[in-house]
């Protein structure tokens, strides 16, 4: 869901909730207004009746039927009003409605509260109570206490005049009054306010989201192009600062452009430095190979000339050390050149579909003689029935496996075993090289293929057979070019197992 749609939905739901709240408040206000107006009119009416006819109790005793007719005549033009003459206990003595039932009574406590409210200060806005005709129905009521005609101090209450205002002839009538008086004008006003608010909200949403959408499109374009996109490698002009007085989006867009331009300039500088590094390493490797090769040839010639001269024994030992170090240096130079070549962005694999079982068989034959000289058993395990094929660059894959096998033979003592194995794991095929060497510390495993890291064997003397090659870094780069991954498992004192996982063909 887009930001624009979310904002529009939020504004719509907020407006809808506000409109419902306004209508509910209008309805409650209408109900309260109606109750207050009804109570004020009824209370004034009862006050006048009591003031003009204070002997209603005596009249009821003399002529009950005549009093009922009199009460009915008082509310003749008020069909929604009923008058009751009650005794001090709240029982109905007479009513303006001749159809009343025989058992009717108003709770005395409620009756007294209604009568006392007439003299209270301040007077309540309105009172509610029960209708004797409809027990349980709460409606607007008012009452006055009636006392005997011969008033004396402390005279008891002789009865009550109780007026009940019914709520119309039915829900339909009340709804019609509400609709005509309050609902329709309120709804028209609310609709107008909502329309105006919607138009304003739409304008605000468009004004807010348009620059946000433009900025999002620019971010997407930058993500697609990357730092090596159309602008990379070109001279980028300094980004002008955002105009003063611009809003947050203008400043955000200007900041994004400035940041993107800075990153692209830095990327161009790094790209040029990386290209210079790779080119320098490649040239240096190429330039050093010839003198190192010539040095090795000279040292080998001297070693052969003095092979039969016993007096040259010490000289031959010195030549042996020099020859070993020169060969290590030549191997390191060759590895640096190979790694620089593999790091080239334009480098492409020469892929062919190949059965990996055949690859490990050929590799085992190449290293069998060396393993035998070291007293190490070299074994092969195939994945079993079924192909273990992958599309690989044969030369590079054999180079990576040869580096792993060379390390395994270096670290496996005489009498140990080095295993070459293939397996299938889902949509991937794996080649494993396992040795029985001293193992690798768990803390060193994450840095094992880092070309800038050297393990504990780096402390060995310069004449060591371990060398200072970049074999594992080359292995990692070759596997990355094949879109595979390298997994390492090692236990100190038991051995190391390195697996190369490649997409199956």
- For position 397, which CATH number holds? 3.30.565.10
| pLDDT higher than threshold 60 for residue 242 | no
Tokens matching residue 30: 């209408």
Looking at the fold, whether 23 and 162 belong to one and the same domain comes out as yes
* Total-model pTM: 0.50
What pLDDT score was predicted for residue 269? 85
Higher-confidence residue of 339 and 497: namely: 497
Asked, for residue 182, whether it belongs to a domain, the answer is no
pLDDT over 60 (residue 126)? yes
Question: 327: pLDDT confidence band, cut at 50, 70 and 90?
Answer: confident
334 and 372: one domain?
A: no
Give yes or no: residues 355 and 464 share one domain.
yes
> Which comes out higher in pLDDT, residue 209 or 327?
327
Among 188-192, 269-273, 493-497, the least confident range? 188-192
How many CB atoms are closer than 10 A to CB 440? 20
Position 61 in a domain: yes
Give the torsion sign (CA, 144, 150, 154, 156): negative
Residue 9 sits in the same domain as residue 151: yes
- Looking at residue 226, its pLDDT comes to 74
Question: Is residue 104 in a domain?
Answer: yes
Instruction: Tell me: do 7 and 153 sit in the same domain.
Output: yes
Question: Range of 296's domain?
Answer: 250-342
Beta bridge partners of 94: 85
State percent of the chain over pLDDT 90: 16
237 compared with 303, residue with greater pLDDT: 303
327 & 388 share domain:
no
Inside any domain, residue 9: yes
181 band by pLDDT with thresholds 50, 70 and 90: low
Q: Cα angle at 126 between 120 and 132, to 5 degrees? A: 105
Q: Is the pLDDT at 188 greater than 70, yes or no?
A: yes
Give the mean pLDDT of 341-359: 86
Name the more confident of 38 and 119. Answer: 38
pLDDT of residue 459: 43
d(C-alpha 114, C-alpha 137), whole Å: 16
Whole-number pLDDT of residue 235: 46
DSSP 310-350: GGGHHHHHHHHHHHHHHHHHHHHHHHHHHHHHHT-TT----
**What is the DSSP track for 100-147?**
--S--B--HHHHHHHHHHTT-SSPPS--EEEETTEEEEEEEEEEEEE-
Q: What is the mean pLDDT of the chain?
A: 80
Locate 324 and state its tokens.
């070993």
| CATH code: domain of residue 113 | 3.30.450.20
Both 17 and 116 in a single domain? Answer: yes
Are 333 and 355 in the same domain?
no
Say if residue 461's pLDDT is above 70.
Answer: no
Q: What's the pLDDT at 496?
A: 93
Confirm whether 409 is domain-assigned: yes
| Residue of higher predicted confidence among 192 and 50 | 50
Final residue belonging to a domain, choices 176, 208, 236: 176
pLDDT value at residue 451: 72
* Rounded distance between C-alpha atoms, residue 70 and residue 56, angstroms: 10
Share of the chain above pLDDT 70, in %: 85
> With 50 as the cut, is the pLDDT of residue 232 above it?
no
pLDDT band for position 499 (cuts 50, 70, 90):
very high
Are 138 and 65 within one domain? yes
- Tens-digit pLDDT profile for residues 69-91: 888 888 888 777 888 888 888 88
pLDDT category, 182, cuts 50, 70, 90?
low
Of 111, 142, 176, the residue at which a domain comes to its end is 176
- Confidence label for 3 from pLDDT (cuts 50, 70 and 90): low
pLDDT given for residue 468 in this prediction: 47
Mean pLDDT of 167-188: 57
Q: Are residues 304 and 359 in the same domain?
A: no
Domain membership flag for residue 496: yes
Residue 200 or residue 378, greater confidence = 378
Q: Is the domain of 372 the same as that of 456?
A: yes
**Least confident segment among 54-58, 178-182, 276-280, 486-490:** 178-182
| pLDDT score for 365 | 92
What pLDDT digit, counting tens, does each position of 353-412 carry?
Answer: 989 999 999 999 999 999 999 999 999 998 877 778 899 999 899 989 999 999 899 999
Residue where a domain stops, chosen among 176, 192, 224: 176
Distances (CA, A) of 223 to 159, 259, 451: 91, 14, 30
393/198: higher pLDDT: 393
Q: Are residues 254 and 399 in the same domain?
A: no
φ and ψ at residue 141, rounded to 5 degrees: -135, 165
pLDDT of residue 153: 56
Any domain includes 204: no
Asked whether residue 220 is assigned to any structural domain, the reply reads no
The whole-number pLDDT of residue 174 equals: 53
Query: For the CA atoms of the chain, what is the radius of gyration?
Result: 52
> Domain total for the chain?
3
Residue 240: what pLDDT?
Answer: 54
Cβ contacts of 36 within 8 Å, gap of 6 or more:
125, 126
């Amino acid at each position: 869901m887009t930001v624009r749609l979310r904002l529009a939905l939020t504004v719509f739901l907020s407006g809808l909730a506000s409109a419902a709240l306004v209508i509910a408040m209008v309805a409650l206000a209408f109900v309260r207004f109606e109750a207050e107006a009804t109570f004020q009119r009824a209370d004034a009416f009862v006050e006048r009746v009591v003031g003009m006819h204070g002997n209603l109790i005596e009249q009821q005793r003399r002529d009950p039927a005549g009093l009922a007719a009199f009460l009915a005549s008082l509310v003749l033009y008020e069909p929604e009003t009923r008058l009751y003459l009650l005794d001090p206990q709240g029982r109905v003595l007479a009513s303006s409605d001749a159809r009343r039932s025989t058992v009717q009574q108003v709770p005395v406590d409620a009756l007294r509260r209604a009568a006392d409210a007439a003299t209270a200060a301040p007077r309540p806005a309105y009172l509610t109570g029960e209708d004797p005709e409809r027990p349980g129905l709460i409606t607007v009521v008012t009452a006055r206490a009636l006392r005997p005609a011969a008033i004396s101090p402390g005279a008891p209450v002789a009865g009550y005049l109780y007026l009940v205002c019914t709520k119309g002839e039915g829900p339909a009538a009340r709804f019609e009054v509400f609709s005509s008086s309050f609902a329709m004008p309120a709804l028209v006003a609310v609709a107008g306010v909502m329309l105006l608010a919607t138009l304003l909200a739409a304008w605000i949403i468009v004004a807010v989201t348009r620059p946000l959408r433009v900025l999002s499109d620019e971010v997407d374009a930058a993500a697609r192009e990357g730092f090596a996109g159309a602008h990379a490698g070109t001279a980028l002009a300094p980004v002008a600062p955002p105009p003063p007085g611009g809003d947050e989006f203008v400043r955000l867009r200007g900041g994004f452009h400035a940041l993107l331009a800075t990153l692209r300039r830095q990327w161009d500088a790094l790209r040029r430095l990386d290209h210079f590094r790779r080119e320098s390493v490649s040239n240096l490797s190429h330039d050093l190979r010839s003198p190192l090769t010539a040095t090795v040839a000279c040292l080998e010639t001297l070693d052969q000339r003095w092979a039969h001269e016993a007096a040259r024994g010490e000289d031959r030992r010195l030549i042996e050390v020099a020859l070993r170090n020169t060969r290590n240096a030549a191997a390191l130079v060759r590895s640096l050149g190979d790694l620089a070549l593999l790091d080239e962005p334009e480098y492409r694999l020469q892929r062919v579909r190949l059965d990996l079982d055949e690859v490990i068989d050929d590799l085992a034959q190449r290293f069998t003689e060396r393993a035998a000289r070291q007293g190490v058993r070299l074994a092969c395990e195939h994945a079993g029935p079924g192909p273990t094929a992958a599309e690989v660059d044969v030369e590079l894959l054999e180079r990576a496996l040869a580096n792993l096998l060379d390390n395994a033979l270096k670290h496996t003592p005489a009498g140990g075993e080095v295993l070459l194995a293939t397996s299938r794991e889902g949509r991937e095929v794996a080649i494993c090289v396992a040795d029985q060497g001293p193992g690798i510390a768990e803390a060193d495993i994450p840095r094992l293929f880092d070309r800038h890291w050297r393990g504990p064997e780096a402390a060995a003397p310069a004449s060591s057979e371990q060398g200072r090659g970049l074999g594992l870094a080359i292995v990692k780069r070759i596997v990355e070019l094949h879109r595979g991954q390298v997994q390492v498992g090692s236990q100190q004192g038991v051995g190391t197992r390195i697996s190369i996982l490649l997409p199956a063909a």
